[in-house]
Amino acid sequence: MLLQVSNITKSFDGTDILTECSFHMEENEKCALVGANGAGKSTLLKIIARVLNSDSGNITLKNNATLGYLAQQEAVDTDNTIYGELITVKQKLLDEEAEIRRLEKEMKKAEGDELKSVMEKYSRLTHHFELNNGFAINSEITGVLKGLGFEEEEFEKKIATLSGGQKTRVALAKLLLSRPDLIMLDEPTNHLDLRSIEWLEGFLQAYKGAVLVVAHDRYFLDRVVTKVVDIENGRSRVYTGNYTAFSEKKRALREAGLRAYMNQQAEIKHQEQVIEKLKSFNREKSIKRAESREKMLAKTERLEKPADINDAMKLTITPSIISGKDVLIVDSLSKSFPDNPLFADVSFDIRRGERVAVIGDNGTGKTTLLKIFTGLVKADQGSFRLGTNVKIGYYDQEHQVLHPDKTLFQEISDEYPMMNDTRIRNTLAAFLFYGDDVFKQVSALSGGERGRLSLAKLMLSNANFLILDEPTNHLDATSKEILENALNDYEGTLLYVSHDRFFINRTATRILELEGHTFTTYHGNYDYYTEKKITASDGDKAESEQIKSVSQNKLSWQEQKAADAEKRKKAAQIKRNEEEIAALEDEQKAIEAEMSKPEIATDVARLTALSERAAEISQKLEKAYEEWEILNTD
């Protein structure tokens, strides 16, 4: 066992944050701490890292094991360059290398026993140096920096000139290079683009040590962790598997717990009614029986009702009017800033009902594209137009139309005066505003809280074309699920920028990847996109459904329409095939049941007919199965 966390309890200002939290980690295990915002995940990491003291409980780390901890904001030496800061991690190896060089010179002069002694020391040092990958220091540092999104020309930049997010990436690189037995990360993906996140996933999957991570990136957790520690109401519960497995198990356990609680409550009520009835008979025997039942009821261990969560809350977005089939038509659009070309000669169309995710590296122009469509930024060249009856709803954390003097409740009720109090409260709760929070003034909200309130307002709008920039930022997992369900039921059209791959995977029907100053289209969700990217990288590009600009193999609307028709035709064939299989299997079962009857066993003619029909069905089923397999082979 590498780490043992035993009965950790912590409170702040009389409020319990953690209550007897316990779990353990084995060597090489990958584990996640999850829970709602404010549940105490970061607090528990700090206690394990000895940055914070617990009120009670113990943390036990295996003897001589090393621990590396990266908080959400990590300090680095601003006087260093990026590369210079990382090379400090390997200082011991650099010192060893210097000593090896010194010993090489000494060996040229030494003789006899002295030479033997120098050679033995040289042998030990070179072995240790090789064992710790000393000859690959430069390539290892370069690999980590490039993986986390730094270009080689940036390596000599002073850390003092970097943004907060870039400094955090440098700190993350230092931690990864130090290779401790246990890596602890708090929201490591916050300042990474998709490419860097995917690199980090690969690094952690292959990492020989253990990893304990706090993250809201559900796709990241699905790919990295094999165990989840859930913190709810201050207490911990351990689940095996990745995030999706945890989510399903937790939901099932909660439903089972709620059923058990409701059944017990019903039984308690029933027993109380029986007791009351027995007492009403007012006879000695019935009173004694009532008293006996009362004693049994008093001894019953009462189940606690599972904590109420808002995952059953349904958020509905209803467009006021249906748009035309053509929602957005983009023709040869270009945009650049001084010394920063973003995209050029971009053309694509968006049709009614599509849910389009725009992805790409940081700084490539994704948000700028959305701002062009909403009139906040002008394109350099090209044009775009909206289709008939298109009504845009736009969410951007930088451009929120909120009134600082209003309360959250007023912000919603004034905008939608016909909405009842319950729906207003439910909507605000879906975006993490509970109880008296709804009476806070907007001016008292943090930036993240303002973003959530703006998103709540937008979800209530009657827009039929939603344009969203990073809509899941500042939302917890439950709120993300509510938003995902709402967008999947939305009858309008959706265009959004997001780094949340789980969100993209659940909501997107099409992906626009911005890379190399142009867009490539993938008709599917994020899993489909990654599958096609892998296929393309392996050289099998024939199956990739990539659509670039008009000049770069853009599928026409007619071609896409034909492709969609072919898909529908195939789906209809699969449905007919599956119906045929079901009917044949039902008939086969009926014949088998008939043949098993005693009276049939003596009826040779009937038995022969049934046998022949069974053989005929068996042949038909074999063909139907083969057809199904062919139809379902992509």
pLDDT for 549: 42
Reported as a single tens digit per residue, the pLDDT across 462-472 is: 889 999 998 88
pLDDT for 373: 94
Whether the Cβ atoms of residue 594 and residue 557 lie closer than 8 Å to each other: no
Reported as a single tens digit per residue, the pLDDT across 2-27 is: 999 999 999 988 888 999 999 999 99
DSSP-assigned letters across all residues of 158-204: BGGGS-HHHHHHHHHHHHHHH--SEEEEESTTTT--HHHHHHHHHHH
Q: What gap in Å lies between CA 38 and CA 54, rounded to an integer?
A: 17
pLDDT for 499: 87
pLDDT for 274: 82
> Which residues does 227 contact at the CB level (< 8 Å), separation at least 6?
25, 29, 30, 31, 32, 238, 239, 240, 241
Reported as a single tens digit per residue, the pLDDT across 178-202 is: 889 999 999 888 778 888 888 999 9
CA 278 from centre of chain:
57
Question: Taking residues 329-358, what's their average pLDDT?
Answer: 92
pLDDT for 56: 94
Question: Taking residues 356-385, what's their average pLDDT?
Answer: 91
Sheet holding 340-351, edge to edge: 340-351, 326-337, 381-386
Q: What gap in Å lies between CA 290 and CA 274, rounded to an integer?
A: 8
Question: Taking residues 532-557, what's their average pLDDT?
Answer: 53
457 confidence band (pLDDT: 50, 70, 90): confident
277 confidence band (pLDDT: 50, 70, 90): confident
pLDDT for 73: 56
pLDDT for 397: 65
pLDDT for 632: 60
Has residue 395 got a pLDDT over 90?
no
> Which residues does 22 contact at the CB level (< 8 Å), separation at least 6?
5, 6, 7, 8, 57, 236
pLDDT for 382: 94
For residue 603, what are the CA distances in angstroms to 33, 133, 591, 598, 617? 68, 82, 14, 9, 21
Question: Taking residues 110-136, what's their average pLDDT?
Answer: 83
Has residue 414 got a pLDDT over 70?
yes
Question: Taking residues 441-463, what's their average pLDDT?
Answer: 83
590 confidence band (pLDDT: 50, 70, 90): confident
Residue type at position 606: R
441 secondary structure, DSSP code = B
79 confidence band (pLDDT: 50, 70, 90): confident
Has residue 205 got a pLDDT over 80?
yes
548 confidence band (pLDDT: 50, 70, 90): very low
Has residue 529 got a pLDDT over 60?
yes
Has residue 550 got a pLDDT over 70?
no
Residue (of 190, 187, 240) closest to 71 by Cα position: 187
Q: What percent of the chain has pLDDT over 90?
A: 34
Report residue 587 as tokens.
């008939």
363 confidence band (pLDDT: 50, 70, 90): confident
Q: How high is the mean pLDDT of the chain?
A: 85
**Phi and psi at residue 68, to the nearest 5°:** -120, 130
Question: Taking residues 334-341, what's their average pLDDT?
Answer: 89
Has residue 629 got a pLDDT over 70?
no
Has residue 553 got a pLDDT over 80?
no
Bridging pattern class, strands 326-337 and 381-386: antiparallel
Q: What gap in Å lies between CA 7 and CA 16, rounded to an integer?
A: 13
The pTM of the full predicted model, rounded to 2 decimals, is 0.68
Q: What gap in Å lies between CA 263 and CA 270, rounded to an integer?
A: 10
Lowest mean pLDDT: which of 38-52, 237-251, 446-460? 446-460
Lowest mean pLDDT: which of 29-43, 45-59, 312-326? 312-326
pLDDT for 102: 87
Say which residue, 385 or 561, is predicted with more confidence. 385
Continuous segment of H or E residues that includes residue 349: strand 340-351
Has residue 474 got a pLDDT over 80?
no
Burial class (CB in 10 A: 0-12, 13-18, 19+), 92: exposed
For residue 313, what are the CA distances in angstroms to 422, 426, 427, 478? 12, 7, 9, 10
Q: What gap in Å lies between CA 381 and CA 62, rounded to an integer?
A: 62
Reported as a single tens digit per residue, the pLDDT across 82-99 is: 988 888 888 888 888 888
Lowest mean pLDDT: which of 29-38, 293-302, 551-560? 551-560
pLDDT for 385: 94
Has residue 53 got a pLDDT over 80?
yes
pLDDT for 552: 40
> Which residues does 436 contact at the CB level (< 8 Å), separation at least 6?
none
